[in-house]
Chains A and B, each alone.
Chain A
Amino acid sequence: MNAGHGNFDEMFDGDGRTRPAYADYSRWYNEQPPEFLRRKNREADDTFRRTGITFNVYGEDQAEERLIPFDMVPRIITAAEWRKLSRGIEQRVRALNSFLYDLYHRQEIVRAGRLPERLLRGNEAWLANMVGFTPPGGIYTHIVGIDLVRTGPDEFFVLEDNARTPSGVSYMLENRETMMGMFPDLFSRIGVESVSNYPRRLARSLAACVPPAFEGGKPTVAVLTPGIFNSAYFEHAFLADQMGAELVEGSDLRVVGGRVQMRTTSGFKPIDVLYRRVDDEFLDPLTFNPDSVLGVPGIMDVYRSGGITIANAPGTGVADDKAIYSFMPEIVEFYTGERPLLPNVQTWRCADKDSLAYVLDNLAELVVKEVHGSGGYGMLIGPTSSKREIEAFRAKLVARPENYIAQPTLALSTCPIYTAKGLAPRHVDLRPFVLVSPEGIDITPGGLTRVALKKGSLVVNSSQGGGTKDTWVLKD
C-alpha cells in the first residue's frame, strides 16, 4: 500500500514495501482475519468509554465529556532512531532549564546580544517575582513534552516545546494498556520498550526535588488540579492515583505555619512537592489573579522561602512561547556549546519587518500561529484555508504582527490508521515525555502520537478532532 502523496510514510516506502520498523507488526497484521480486526476496533472504543478516559470540552452543554478517538495501528520507532531522538531531546531540555535560570538571574543571553530583550518584556508568561529566586535543585521545568514531527527517514523537527504543563501522558499509558489488553500475542512476538513505569519515574523524579523545608522521611507529593470540570481532570486523577499521591484542589490547601498544608480528615498535613496542573496566574490569588479560587493564597511566599517545591516552576512558560521557540537553536548553542541535534522548523517572526513582508506574500503556503496560542486555536493553515479565511487572517496579522510567527507547511509524515476499508495514511506528530530532577533527565521510551483522523488534514489536536495511537520504541 502506498501513501501515494509524496509524504514520508512511517510504515511503507514509496514502492509500497513495508519499512523495517514495521516488518514484524505487518506480518502479524496480515495474519489476522479481517473480522477479528473489525471486532477489536469496536472493542477499543468500548474500553475507553468504560474506563472513562475522556477529556472535557468547554462550552458544549451536552457533550461535556468526550472520548479521544484511538487508532489501533501502532506508530513504531526503531531503537536506533530513538537513541538519536533522545540525545537531541536531552540536549534541548538541558538548554531550556539553563535558559530559564539565566532569564531569572543575570540574563547573560540578552547581554550577549543573542536574544532581544523585548521578547522578555513582552512575554505574558514572565513572572517578575521569580527574578533572583532559584527553585529547589535549580530546576524550572520538571515535566516537559517536546512535540516532534517527521518529514523523512532521518528528519525529525521540533515543532514546539511544552515546558509549562504538558498533558497527554495518561493517553500514552492508557493506549498501551488498551493495546496490551486487546493484542497480548503481539507483545509477546515483538519487543517493545515499556512505558508503564512512567508514574513511578514521575514520583521518583518529583520526590528528588524536595524543598529546603523538607524534614526527611518520605516526601509528601501532591497533584494540584483545578477540579473535575477541567479538560485534563482524568489525567490529573490518573497520575495521582498511579503515583500514590494525593489529588488536591485549591480549597484543600492552606498556608499554615509557613508551609502549604492539605486538609486531611485528621488535620492539616504539609506538602513537600506540588505537581501543579493549574496555570501560573491562578496559582496564588494574593500574587496573581485575585479572583481565582483554584490556587492557594500565600503559596508564592512559601515557595520563595523554601517551604515547597512547585513543579513546574512558576514563570516557566516564558520558555515555551512561539517567539522564544524561534530562538531555540541559538539558545541550545549558547548554553550547551553544541550544535542543536534536533532542528527547529524554519520560523518567520512577524515582528520582524522583512519576515512579515515575506509572510504576507506567501500566506497561502504558510502556517501562521499566535505566539501565545495553544491547542490549535488562533492559527491559519494556508494551504487548506479559503481565500476569505486568508484575507481575514491577513488583517489580524497586519494589526498585531508581533503576535504571530509563521512556518512552512511541512511534508508531515503519515502513519496508517485502521479504517473499514483497510489501512489508510494519516498525518502524525509525536510528543515524548521528559522528566527532570537533580538526579538527571529521564525520557520515557515512547510518547503520545497524535493523528489527524481526517484525510489530508494536518491538525492533530484533540480539541480539533484528532486522535491518538500507541507509540512503540522497539527493543534492540
Chain B
Amino acid sequence: MLGRTANGLFWMFRYLERAENTARLLEAALRMALTRDVVTAEAEWRSVIATLGLTQAYQAAHDSYDGVAVWNFVLRGSTNPGNVREMFGAVRSNARMARTNISSDVWEAVNENWMRIDRLLARPVGQTMVGEALAAIRRAGTQVHGAFDGSILRDDGYHFARAGTFIERADSSARILDMKYFILLPSLSYVGSSLDTGQWEQVLRSVAGARVYSWLNAGQIEARGIVEFVVLDDRFPRSLAFCRNALRDCLGALARSHGVEGRAIALMREADTRISHLTVDQIFEAGLHEFLVDFLARDAAIARAIAEDYRFHA
C-alpha cells in the first residue's frame, strides 16, 4: 500500500471520529444548558470551547458564550478552520485520496453523508435545526463504520483506518475528562466530595457512556466510578484502555504484515505499561490531570511514529 494512501485512510478516520466526538460533546452541552440557569449554561459552553482547544479563536470572534454562537462557531464558523463542516470535507477528500483502497459502500456512505452535512451546515444553525444537524453527524460516523466493517478486506488499510480511529477517540475521551476535571475540581481536596453529578453525567454523555455506566453502577453517579469507567474499563469502546488495546492490535497486525516492528510499537509498549496495571486510586493519587496530560502526549507521539514508520510522507 502507498504511504500516501495509508495516510489518507488514517486521517479519513481521524476526522470522522473527531466530527462524531464533537457532535457528542455539543449534544451533551446542549442538554445540560437546557436544564440549567443562564450562568451555568454559559460555563458549560465555555467548557466546550475549551475542550476543543478553540478558546483563543472563539474569543477573537465573540464576546460571550451563548449557545447558538458556540455551536455555530464549532460547526461552521468561518474563523474556525477546524469546524465540523471542514472536518467532514476532510473526511471526504481523504476518502477520495484513498478511493482505490475503500469499497464503494464506504465511499458512498462518506459521500452521501457529506452531502447531507454540508447542506445542513451551509446556513447558520438555529435552535430548531441543531438537533437534526448533530444527529446527522453522529449517524455519519455510524454509517461509515458500518459500511467499513462489512465490506473492507482486513489488510493494512483496515488497520491504518482503525489506528486513526482509536488515536483520535482516545484523544477525545482524555480531553473531555481533563477539561471536566479542571472545571469541577478547583483543588485536589475536592476529590471524593459531593460533586455536581449533573456535570459528571455530562462527561458520560459526551463519551456516549451514560446509559451503560448507569446500568453497570446501578445509577450511582460519582467521580471515582466515572473516571474508572472512562479510563480503565476495557469493555467500554470509548475508554482509554479500550482504545489502547485496539491500537495495540492494529500496530501488531501492521508489524506482522510488514515483517518489522517500528518505533510506534516501542512507544506503544511503554505507554501501555503505564495504564494496564493502574488502579483508579493510584491515578487520583498521582493526579488525574497529570495522568491525562501524559496520556495525550504519548497518544500524539504514537501517531507521529506511525506516520514515520509507514512512510506517510515523502
Contact = CB atoms under 8 A, between A and B. Distances in A.
21 contacts: A50-B115, A51-B107, A51-B111, A228-B96, A233-B96, A237-B96, A248-B2, A252-B3, A252-B314, A263-B3, A263-B311, A263-B314, A264-B3, A264-B311, A265-B3, A265-B156, A265-B310, A265-B311, A266-B260, A266-B310, A267-B311
Most central of A51, A246, A265, A266 by chain B CB within 10 Å: A265
Given A51-B111, A251-B314, A262 B96 contact: no
Contacts of B310: 265-266
Nearest to A267: B311
Interface residues of A, number: 24
Interface string A256-288: 000000111111000000000000000000000
B100 A228 contact: no
A51 B114 CA distance: 12
A249 B3 CA distance: 11
Contacts of A195: none
B93 A262 contact: no
B4 interface: yes
A241 interface: yes
Interface in A234-260: 237-238, 240-241, 245-249, 251-252, 254
Given A237-B99, A246-B100, A265 B108 contact: no
A52 interface: yes
A248 B3 CA distance: 10
Given A251-B4, A263-B4, 15 more contacts: A50-B112, A51-B104, A51-B111, A52-B96, A52-B108, A228-B96, A237-B100, A246-B100, A247-B5, A247-B99, A262-B2, A264-B2, A264-B3, A266-B258, A266-B259
B100 A265 contact: no
A265 B9 CA distance: 12
Nearest to A244: B100
Interface string A186-225: 0000000000000000000000000000000000000000
B1 interface: yes
A137 B258 CA distance: 35
A427 B100 CA distance: 35
Contacts of A50: 108, 111-112, 115
B100 A240 contact: yes
Interface string B1-26: 11111100000000000000000000
Most central of A49, A50, A254 by chain B CB within 10 Å: A50
Contacts of A267: 311
Contact of A228 (B97, B112, B160): B97
Interface string A44-64: 000001111000000000000
How many B residues touch the partner, as a band?
20 to 34
Interface string B207-227: 000000000000000000000
A241 B3 contact: no
Interface of B: 1-6, 93, 96-97, 99-100, 104, 107-108, 111-112, 115, 156, 160, 254, 258-260, 310-311, 314
Given A49-B115, A52-B107, A264-B311, A246 B2 contact: yes
A234 to B, nearest CB: 8
Most central of B2, B112, B115, B259 by chain A CB within 10 Å: B2
Nearest to B4: A252
Contacts of A228: 93, 96-97
A241 B311 contact: no
A241 B100 contact: yes
B2 A252 contact: yes
A241 B1 contact: no
Interface string A27-71: 000000000000000000000011110000000000000000000
A246 B156 CA distance: 14
Nearest to B93: A228
Contacts of B100: 237, 240-241, 245-247
A247 B96 CA distance: 11
Contacts of A262: 2
Contacts of A266: 258-260, 310
A49 B113 CA distance: 12
A52 B111 contact: yes
Contacts of B108: 50-52
